[in-house]
Structure 1
Amino acid sequence: MTTLATPRFLLRPPATGDAEPIARYLNDFAVAGNLARVPFPYHLSDARAWLRTRRPGLPLEETNFAIELPGTGFAGQVGFHRGSGGAVLGYWLGQPFWGQGIMTEAVIASLDWFFRASAANEVLSGVFAFNQASLAIQTKLGFTQTGRSTLLCLARNAEVEHIDTIITRAAWTGRLQ
């Protein structure tokens, strides 16, 4: 299983011991309400059930990384899941860690890894229309908007307007030139 080092922290495979901080941070509507696939309230049993799905040998498109801050521990997640159009990037960060550039650094490391490890020509993502902080990360990193859709937000129990985004391999590798 892959572990990535960034200048400030590690991205490592999620572990059983992450269940309590996952449950604590996702049982915050300010976090869960920005995510499509997370119910609210979010319980320790939800975290344990999700962690049981993380096992060695998953395809690259199903890889998730725990964000491990030195001296603090688990702070959030970044990773990929399979969508109908290919790999989809998703991420979240516990509210105490917002506004520190952590997620930008985590997304950079995970996309660098994904494009090196796979033959994929693009990664899809997106944000709910009200999530301007997450959209700012994607815009800064070169994602482009491809349209709008609606997506079920489990925490809100509603279909919510979603801004669909994409980054191509060429745009990702070309951003440094």
Structure 2
Amino acid sequence: MNVTLQTPRLLLRPAELGDAEPIARYLNDFDVAGNLARVPYPYHLSDAKAWLRTRRPNLPAEDTNFSIELPGHGLVGHVGFHLGRQGPIIGYWLGKPFWGRGIMSEAVEASLEWFFRATPAPVVYSGVFHFNAASLAIQTKLGFTEIGRSTLLCLARGAEVAHIDTQLTRSVWKARKNEVP
């Protein structure tokens, strides 16, 4: 799908070939790549270009990704969906210079809102490596619950790593959105 979302601070838009350089720059940081399952380290410009060639405007919602743009900085990260064995999975990363500003919470919330409106999916899955407390805090804040523990291959680490498996149901999302602050 070719979708663009606007939040109070961010533009979430389809990835473009011109995103290759900042993607490679931010993912070629072990502190970022080491938190992700499907990203190798070192991460090269050729890796970014190869991934960007897989992005097409006709992909289903379950395979939609958003480049996260912060005005004045350009691309700072990514959030997107892919199909897993159980159903749709959301994943995300943010360049290290932008950590701790609430950017990823804002981007993930907007993408989940879009996803639940665009699909009939009853649940979105995710998870974090056991040491990624910041990412787990984002998921917890947005209504994800732990559904188990597993191990997952981390390409950057070249090893199976303990993983906290999470899910967000449509009913929890809807109830959360209907709460009065």
If the TM-score is normalised by the length of the shorter chain, which range does it land in?
A: over 0.9
Q: Which runs of 4+ in 1 moved over 6 A?
A: none
1:173 and 1:5 map into 2 onto residues whose CA distance is: 20
Q: Percent identity over the alignment?
A: 73
Once the two structures are superposed, residues 27-86 of structure 1 have per-residue CA deviations (whole angstroms, 9 ceiling, x without a partner) of: 000000000000000000000000000011101110000001111100000010110000
How many residues align? The count is 177
1:43-82 correspondence runs (5 A): 43-82=44-83
The equivalences for 1:134-149 within 5 A come to 134-149=135-150
Taking the aligned partners of 1:59 and 1:36, their CA distance within structure 2 comes to 22
Matched, 1:115 2:109: no
Mapped partners of 1:13, 1:153: distance in 2: 25
Instruction: Please list the CA deviations of residues 114-142 of structure 1 after superposition, one character each: whole Å capped at 9, or x if unmatched.
Output: 00000000000000000000000001111
Alpha-carbon separation, structure 1, partners of 2:156 and 2:82: 19
Separation in 2, partners of 1:112, 1:155: 30
Map of 2:32 onto structure 1: 31
**Amino acid corresponding to residue 118 of structure 1 in structure 2:** T
Amino acid of the residue matched to residue 57 of structure 1? Answer: N
Residue in 2 aligned with 1:151?
152
State the secondary structure of the residue aligned to 2:78.
strand
Structure 1 position 160 matched with structure 2 position 140: no
**Deviation of residue 107 (structure 1)?**
0.5
Name the residue aligned to 1:20.
Answer: 21
CA RMSD of aligned residues (A): 0.4
Give the superposition deviation at 1:95. 0.2
Structure 1 residue 90 and structure 2 residue 91: aligned? yes
TM-score normalised by the chain length of structure 1: 0.99
The one-letter code sitting in structure 2 at the alignment partner of 1:141 is: L
Matches of 1:140 and 1:60, distance apart in 2: 23
| Counterpart position of 2:104 | 103
Deviation per CA, 1:140-160, whole angstroms, max 9, x where unpaired? 111000000000000000000
Q: Which whole-Å CA distance do the structure 2 matches of 1:65 and 1:4 have between them?
A: 9
Per-residue deviation, 1:174: 0.5
Classify the secondary structure of the residue corresponding to 1:108: helix
Normalised by the length of structure 2, the TM-score is 0.97
2:101 & 2:89 partners in 1: Cα distance?
24
Return the alpha-carbon distance in structure 2 between the equivalents of residues 83 and 6 of structure 1: 27
By how many angstroms is 1:96 displaced?
Answer: 0.4
